[in-house]
Structure 1
Amino acid sequence: MTALLAGSIAVPTALSASTAQAAEACRSGIPTYVHDVSSESDGVLRKYLDWDPLTGNATGALLDTGETAPLERYSEFFTGGHGIIYVKTPEGALKTYKDNSATGGSMLTPVRNYGGNWNVYERMWSTGDNRIFALHQDGALEVYSVANPSSGSGAITKIRTVPSTDPAVVAIAQATDVWSAGPVVYTLKRGVPGKHGEVKAWRYSDGVWGLPFPNGSTTVITGISNETRGWSPGPGTIYTVGDSPDYTGIAWSYTGTAPMDVANPDVGAGIYGDVHADIASCLASPSPDVKPSFGPVPPETETPPQAVIDWLPDPAPQDPTQFSGKFVLGDGRPAAGLPVRVEAVDVTSDSTDEVQLVTLGTTVTAPDGTWTVPLPTALPESVKRAAANNGGIINAMASVNGETSSGHMMRGTHMMTAAPATAPATARALVAAAAEDDSEPSKMRPIIDDLRKEQAQPTVAQTNLSWASRDEQVSVDTLGDRPLPEYQSDTVREFQGDPYVVDGVDTKSLVVRPMDGGCDKTSEKVIDKQIKYTTVAEGHAYWDAKTTVDYDSKLSSSVEVAVKTGTRWTIEGSVTLGSAMSVTTGYANKGPFFAKQWRVPIEYKKIREKWTCNYGRDTFYRYKIMGSKYKVPSGGAVGKYGKDVSNRDGSVNYGNSPKKHRAWVPQGAHFQISKNRSIKWSGAVSAYGIKLGGSTQYDRDHRQRITAGNKKARHDIWGKNDKVDGKPGVFYSY
């Protein structure tokens, strides 16, 4: 990490450090560490930067540096100031490490192993200088002196035992969390039903004959509810975060004298686990014209761009007046010579009536598995009406059926879109863009016995246990545009395995031939509907910039469709939603240090499919989840902020970006994307316990915009997938 500029000396508060400590240079840019054990991994230590600790980042945020180090989930850690990190291992040893990540080294560079049986202490923490507090299992508080604390290698000597009956020790033992900033010990008590929690301050004194906490306590924060963790970068500032059931991990900051005021109620997101800062004796604000940086940053030069050769041209866009795709076997080989039927799906009624889908065309797969069906010149009236309600776009399902030499029936389906030549230009652009999202071949999968009967649907409580439902509750977008797992469950967190082994036979590589008698048209019935807020845009504004997201006038998004085979759900294409909207949504001029997704309410249907094969002798049922229209729930919001995506911004990400993707925005000027496709968000929505991806078409009504502030440093941006004036998908900010 580069030098973090110090500002003016802060005025000590009533709870600040001693006079000798306050005379030291005040610091900004305080490293802050989180022991994250929320994932399935063994545990990781994450490093954040508290850029403006004096104000509690009142107009900023805790910045994710991207630096991590493995830290076993059952280990405990605390900081000692000066870049020293103490770790108590599960076996009870106490070890010290030095954070050398600022100079390219390890965040946990070993310094000393003190050994011993430190497991006799229920909790340990440091003052940030030469004292360590340790609460013994018998209830007493033991105080240790640290020699040469800045090295992490000095002797640790017990100098005092405070009895368990001391009021401060009683409060420490009963506290939800405890930490220090210099000689001041803070105790956080979580709220309980009917009573708010609080944070109290206890000033410790080393006086030989005096009381260890001679002045009792001062209540510094009231109104605590779900907050379970607290920490201080130094005197005068406190942060809290909760282990709430919704997994938001949203941190609050407080500053001033008792009682402290809220400085920022959303100073950081995704903070899960124990938190400690590299405690400073005095805090400062950074220079207002210096951007935060972690490591070397490319210089602000305006050298002419080098010529870039794109070896592969952009693929030719799909003709929007036809449906096309490719079916393959489970092992990826072409599914050749099989009959394909394309049926319009938007004709399904909103009622519970069973509706037979309208066939738009049939064909046979080519030797390479590809197929094409043009839109009929004359569309049936039901399809015309559905298209008119969907901005001119026709959503359809292509299905292919066959059987193996062993007699196992196989079926493949894929959702896709088309638009007549007379449809609006925006509709045709949506269709072409959606085709790029759904360009992967579609697999044929076995028809198992579970499909021969209708299935009982899981309850809301059961779907709340699924991986998708749990991920939906996390405040930070960790998926980005990474592919979803191929098979999901709507009731458990575990991903589902290979469905191709049927009756002991692996069907994925077996040749599939046309089925005797074939299969007839599909009929559908809506069995449930629910409204879910779905990601349709995101904006980024680092430092002193501001961002605006417009999602106006009409839907312009594609959302994946999930199909259930037995107990497994998988994505099989997407539908495009282009229906008219009656409201305007989005956010304007958010920032600085702001990056969030925007979500709009979309109604999703759970649909039961029914079809017969073998001259009507075999009837099968299958279920799918499909988006339908923008719909505001009664008394609900027209749009909502989505997940935090600020970990995509900043100096590290800018330094790692391709040079040809970079650009900058002059002071006080703005830039926006208003054409081409957004990125595809893998976690756009969780509906019925299943995660679905989605993307949006940029146009005059759907834009991502950034406005640069007037500070001196340059405002840099870069496209994720391309140059910012090409097809970036989304642009980030530094």
Structure 2
Amino acid sequence: MTGNAAGALLDTGQTAPLEAYSKFFTGGRGIIYVKTPEGALKTYKDNSATGGSMLTPVHDYGGDWSAYRRMWSNGDNRIFALHQDGALEIYAVASPSSGSGAITKIKTVASTDPAVVAIEQANDVWSAGATVYTLRRGVADRHGEVKAWRYSESASGSPFPDGYTTAVRGLGTKVWYGWSPGPGTIYTVGDTPDYTGIADSHTGTAASMEVTNPDVGAGIYGDVHADIAACLASPSPDVKPALGAVPPETEVPPQAVTDESADPAPQNPAQFSGRFVLGDGSPAAGLPVTVEAAFVTSDSDEEVKLPTLGTAVTASDGTWTVPLPATLPESVRKAAVENGGAVNAMASVSGKTSSGLIMQGTDMVTAAPATAPATARALVAAAAEETSEPSKMRPITEDMRQEQAQPTAAQTALSWATKDERMSVDTLGDKPLPEYQSDTVADPQGDPYIVAGADTKSMVVKPMDGGCDKDSEKVIDRGVAYTAVVEGHAYWDTKATVDYDSKLASNVEIAVKTGSRWTIEGSVTLGSSMSVTTGYTAKGPYFAKQWKVPIEYRKIKETWKCNYGRDTFYRYKIMGGKYKVPSGGAVGKYGKDVSKKDGGVNYRNSPKSHRAWVEPGSYFQISKNRSVKASGAVSAFGVKLGASTQYDKEHKQRITAGNQKYERHDIWGKNDRVSGKPGVFYSF
């Protein structure tokens, strides 16, 4: 950070563990005070900037400091300690820069002093120079505020002789913490239960500070302690901030240029294909496969039976292929036109074990006729890449033989997906989602293959007499959820722009419920014949966020019949559909903060072949190939789904460099060189 309201909060990536139930505060110049669970006071030196430990031991003062409810430093030679009896005790620190000087009590301020009363009632307290700040959050109809108390060590009387001035007004009920990165600036942030972690900055005089940046940082949870050190001085605007030395290049990276070569033709776009395996990963061979249309654009809430597009039998390795019919049923043809040319479908396979247990597998697949738009064909290729993992067969459990009650909104709010959606920072990136999710609890879900005490993963599955067919399906719920479809990155002296056209160009995963567990089974390709562009323009510097668009999701109940209709079971799935702006809603929204992927540390760790740079005053953008897949792109009905987007002339990620002449504007691709298939590019 630069110590002013315009400064950026840069994550060093450095961490250090503290003993459970310890408490700490900073003393300036890299000194950290730690109060142990036993009440002893110790000092440490933060040497992480030079490659050392963040908690390098310095001195053990011992003693019993457990009687103090709250302790903080002025960043120099004073420690303030609020005693359990309500009095404020002030200590002088000798040689504060060493962390080993003597600590001597010099003053006790009575609990009745107005400043001490405010300190006792405050949600957070900190100091910046000669000023003590108290933050009290808003409650009900009372707004929160930050008060500034000038501290003066007079010979007698209160050390807060001037009372207070209100520095920040109108804080909400969720703002619990504050700190000052430098004189004249205050940052505030919400408490962890808020799940936002977004810090805003205020600047001005002690009597009146205004919001300067409502999103100066994200992913900040709990109390923050600002150090007073050289790093808080505002650097020259000509110098690109870097955390640690960036090694010199052995060769000059190429300047970023747009690759205008033609997209490679996807292989066999006019066919559905996939691979089914058993729970242990071995091939599900010799089983009949049925491919049925999936209408992602339909508005019908009626019970419907969807047309079959073809059948096949799994090969010895579990693979199967069904050509797209040359002549599509009229309902499928119409749905494909509304979906930008892509045909979505569901492939299903079923069989029985020797013990009579029904096993079933499904996979969402997509294809496009040769006459479909290039975007649709590219999305088919992208879907094939993303769903290269085989689809597992899973047991039909007893709880699937009855229709299930759907969770309430209050129950869904407890799910891991719903809670993660409230987080301000993307914690998943492109990491895989949990294999099994719950739409009502945050706990990991267990193995569905244990049935009546037996592990069914490796049981041989053979074709069953009469098979299993989906008799019908019905939409039982629908709602709009904002889905991350693209992201932009802008570090020092750059601006980020992203465009996303509502014609859609995304692959969004499908979640299927087997018993009580939701799991991902393929994805659908979302397109549209309409076109409205949304996104953000010229955001930065030090800006990196996803962009989310409103997509309608439906929860669908499926009714299956097996053994010539003698067995019935029910299954549920969550499937994305149209771009749909809710009444009175936003056409697009900022998504999660992804700035942790930028900066010098990540640049240093990137493959050199992926790096490039942007000439001052120029820009670079991705306008082809597929974006990186966001694992946690959306929470729909309490379940997390991933998504990716096909870049084209309407779906872009752009960076525009400033005019600084002394530092290079570096970028690098995540998956490839920036002129290849990077997925997304980052900024330094």
Q: TM-score with structure 1 length normalisation?
A: 0.89
Query: Cα distance 1:681–1:73, how it changes in 2: closer, same or farther (>3 A)?
Result: farther
Contact 1:232/1:279 (<8 A) preserved = no
Q: Give the partner amino acid of 1:234.
A: G
Between the aligned partners of 1:235 and 1:388, the Cα distance in structure 2 is 60
Contact 2:297/2:578 (<8 A) preserved = no
Give secondary structure in 2 for the equivalent of 1:660: helix
1:462-501 alignment runs, 5 A limit: 462-501=411-450
Contact 2:297/2:577 (<8 A) preserved = no
Q: Which residue of 2 aligns with 1:135?
A: 82
Q: Which residue of 2 aligns with 1:529?
A: 478
Q: CA deviation at 1:373?
A: 0.8
Between the aligned partners of 2:90 and 2:641, the Cα distance in structure 1 is 53
Contact 1:234/1:280 (<8 A) preserved = no
Between the aligned partners of 2:553 and 2:227, the Cα distance in structure 1 is 47
Q: Which of 275, 280, 297 is the matching residue for 2:246?
A: 297
Identify the range of structure 1 (653-662 vs 60-69) with the bigger mean alpha-carbon deviation: 60-69
Q: Which of 40, 52, 65 is the matching residue for 1:105?
A: 52
Give secondary structure in 1 for the equivalent of 2:331: helix
Between the aligned partners of 1:232 and 1:114, the Cα distance in structure 2 is 27
Q: Which residue of 2 aligns with 1:714?
A: 664
Q: Give the partner amino acid of 2:182.
A: G
Between the aligned partners of 1:116 and 1:391, the Cα distance in structure 2 is 72
Q: CA deviation at 1:242?
A: 1.4
Q: CA deviation at 1:379?
A: 1.1
Q: Give the partner amino acid of 2:669.
A: G
Deviation per residue, 1:336-388 (Å, 9 max, x gap) = 11111111011785232111121111111111111111111121111111111
Q: Which of 629, 652, 655 is the matching residue for 2:578?
A: 629
Deviation per residue, 1:94-138 (Å, 9 max, x gap) = 221111110011111122222332221111000111110110111
Q: CA deviation at 1:643?
A: 0.5
Contact 2:272/2:321 (<8 A) preserved = yes
Q: Which of 67, 92, 100 is the matching residue for 1:153?
A: 100
Q: Which of 174, 189, 202 is the matching residue for 1:254?
A: 202
Q: Which of 660, 671, 676 is the matching residue for 1:726?
A: 676
Query: Cα distance 1:304–1:102, how it changes in 2: closer, same or farther (>3 A)?
Result: closer
Q: Which residue of 1 aligns with 2:458?
A: 509
Between the aligned partners of 1:495 and 1:372, the Cα distance in structure 2 is 34
Contact 1:182/1:281 (<8 A) preserved = no
Q: Give the partner amino acid of 1:89.
A: T
Between the aligned partners of 1:694 and 1:655, the Cα distance in structure 2 is 28
Query: Cα distance 1:315–1:391, how it changes in 2: closer, same or farther (>3 A)?
Result: closer
Give secondary structure in 1 for the equivalent of 2:146: strand
Deviation per residue, 1:172-226 (Å, 9 max, x gap) = 1011110011221111111122221211111222233343222222222211223
- Give aligned pairs, total: 673
Give secondary structure in 1 for the equivalent of 2:435: coil
Contact 2:253/2:613 (<8 A) preserved = no
Identity between Structure 1 and Structure 2 (%): 78
Contact 2:470/2:558 (<8 A) preserved = no
Q: Which residue of 1 aligns with 2:645?
A: 696
Q: CA deviation at 1:281?
A: 9.8
Between the aligned partners of 1:86 and 1:447, the Cα distance in structure 2 is 58
Q: Which residue of 2 aligns with 1:213?
A: 160
Deviation per residue, 1:618-676 (Å, 9 max, x gap) = 01100000001100000111111111111110000100100000000000011000110
Q: Give the partner amino acid of 2:202.
A: Y
Query: Cα distance 1:707–1:282, how it changes in 2: closer, same or farther (>3 A)?
Result: closer
Residue 17 of structure 2 corresponds to residue 67 of structure 1: no
Residue 545 of structure 2 corresponds to residue 596 of structure 1: yes
Q: CA deviation at 1:301?
A: 7.1
Contact 1:348/1:524 (<8 A) preserved = no
Q: Which residue of 2 aligns with 1:680?
A: 629
Q: Which residue of 2 aligns with 1:31?
A: none
Q: Which of 620, 625, 634 is the matching residue for 1:671?
A: 620
Identify the range of structure 1 (257-266 vs 267-276) with the bigger mean alpha-carbon deviation: 257-266
Q: Which residue of 2 aligns with 1:177?
A: 124
Between the aligned partners of 2:253 and 2:240, the Cα distance in structure 1 is 24
Contact 2:533/2:650 (<8 A) preserved = no
Identify the range of structure 1 (608-617 vs 513-522) with the bigger mean alpha-carbon deviation: 513-522
Residue 188 of structure 2 corresponds to residue 240 of structure 1: yes
Q: Give the partner amino acid of 2:375.
A: T
Q: Give the partner amino acid of 1:724.
A: V
Between the aligned partners of 2:328 and 2:202, the Cα distance in structure 1 is 63
Between the aligned partners of 1:424 and 1:197, the Cα distance in structure 2 is 55
Between the aligned partners of 1:359 and 1:172, the Cα distance in structure 2 is 71
Q: Give the partner amino acid of 1:267.
A: V
| Structure 1, gaps ≥5 residues long | 1-49, 306-313
Q: CA deviation at 1:246?
A: 3.8
Q: Which residue of 1 aligns with 2:257?
A: none
Contact 2:296/2:575 (<8 A) preserved = no
Contact 1:402/1:512 (<8 A) preserved = yes
Q: CA deviation at 1:245?
A: 5.1
Give secondary structure in 2 for the equivalent of 1:431: helix
Q: Which residue of 1 aligns with 2:363?
A: 414
Identify the range of structure 1 (279-288 vs 356-365) with the bigger mean alpha-carbon deviation: 279-288
Between the aligned partners of 2:582 and 2:231, the Cα distance in structure 1 is 50
Q: Which residue of 1 aligns with 2:219?
A: 270
Contact 1:181/1:281 (<8 A) preserved = no
Contact 2:551/2:578 (<8 A) preserved = yes
Give secondary structure in 1 for the equivalent of 2:382: helix
Q: Which residue of 1 aligns with 2:260?
A: none
Give secondary structure in 1 for the equivalent of 2:365: strand
Query: Cα distance 1:652–1:281, how it changes in 2: closer, same or farther (>3 A)?
Result: closer
| Structure 2, gaps ≥5 residues long | 255-262
Identify the range of structure 1 (321-330 vs 517-526) with the bigger mean alpha-carbon deviation: 517-526
Contact 2:296/2:344 (<8 A) preserved = no
Between the aligned partners of 1:73 and 1:599, the Cα distance in structure 2 is 39
Q: CA deviation at 1:284?
A: 4.0
1:496-645 alignment runs, 5 A limit: 496-552=445-501, 554-645=503-594
Contact 2:166/2:208 (<8 A) preserved = yes
Identify the range of structure 1 (347-356 vs 254-263) with the bigger mean alpha-carbon deviation: 347-356
Q: Which of 359, 362, 376 is the matching residue for 2:308?
A: 359
Q: Which residue of 1 aligns with 2:403?
A: 454
Deviation per residue, 1:545-572 (Å, 9 max, x gap) = 0111011251100100000011100000
Q: CA deviation at 1:581?
A: 3.2
Q: Which residue of 2 aligns with 1:394?
A: 343
Contact 2:27/2:74 (<8 A) preserved = yes
Give secondary structure in 2 for the equivalent of 1:693: strand
Q: CA deviation at 1:93?
A: 2.3
Give secondary structure in 2 for the equivalent of 1:668: coil
Q: Give the partner amino acid of 2:573.
A: K
Q: CA deviation at 1:473?
A: 0.2
Contact 1:539/1:704 (<8 A) preserved = yes
Between the aligned partners of 2:377 and 2:405, the Cα distance in structure 1 is 39
Between the aligned partners of 1:395 and 1:505, the Cα distance in structure 2 is 36
Between the aligned partners of 1:73 and 1:416, the Cα distance in structure 2 is 49
Q: TM-score with structure 2 length normalisation?
A: 0.96
Deviation per residue, 1:467-486 (Å, 9 max, x gap) = 00000000000100000000
